[in-house]
Amino acid sequence: MSVRSLTCIECPIGCSIEVTVENGEPVSVTGNACPRGKLYAENEVICPRRVLTSTVRAENGELIPVKTDKPIKKDETFDLMKKINRVVCKLPVKIGDIIVENITEDINLIATGNAEGV
């Protein structure tokens, strides 16, 4: 049995959470102020996930800010960045536009900025 200490990133409170892990599974969570913190802590010790933010190049060379529309497995970050680095998008782009559908699993890469192009 082991105990992992985490700082919750689900809201601005930043609760200090302790997760007791046995056989790779969380058996207790303490320190969270809300249910989101408990779920975050359990997922963090089993399979951590993050929303990935980056940029892609538009056809005119401009950089367009993007993010995944759902969290990805943290250990897939570098493989996904290789895919993102090869993307070239067409303009115009509006916030929320899907730049690459299903870039991984059922996760889309979406624009987080506007670009009109010239």
**6 and 30 within one domain:** yes
CATH number at residue 105: 3.10.530.10
Confidence of residue 117 (pLDDT cuts 50, 70, 90): confident
Determine the Cα–Cα distance for residues 42 and 97; give it in Å rounded to an integer.
Answer: 32
Domain total in the chain: 2
Determine the Cα–Cα distance for residues 93 and 112; give it in Å rounded to an integer.
Answer: 9
Go through the chain and tell me how many residues it has.
Answer: 118
| pTM confidence score | 0.81
Residue 74 domain flag: yes
What digits encode the pLDDT tens for the residues 63-92?
A: 999 999 999 999 999 999 999 999 999 999
Confidence of residue 109 (pLDDT cuts 50, 70, 90): very high
**69 and 33 within one domain:** no
Confidence of residue 24 (pLDDT cuts 50, 70, 90): confident
Determine the Cα–Cα distance for residues 84 and 3; give it in Å rounded to an integer.
Answer: 36
DSSP symbol at 53: E
Q: Which residue range(s) make up the domain with 95?
A: 53-111
Residue 61 domain flag: yes
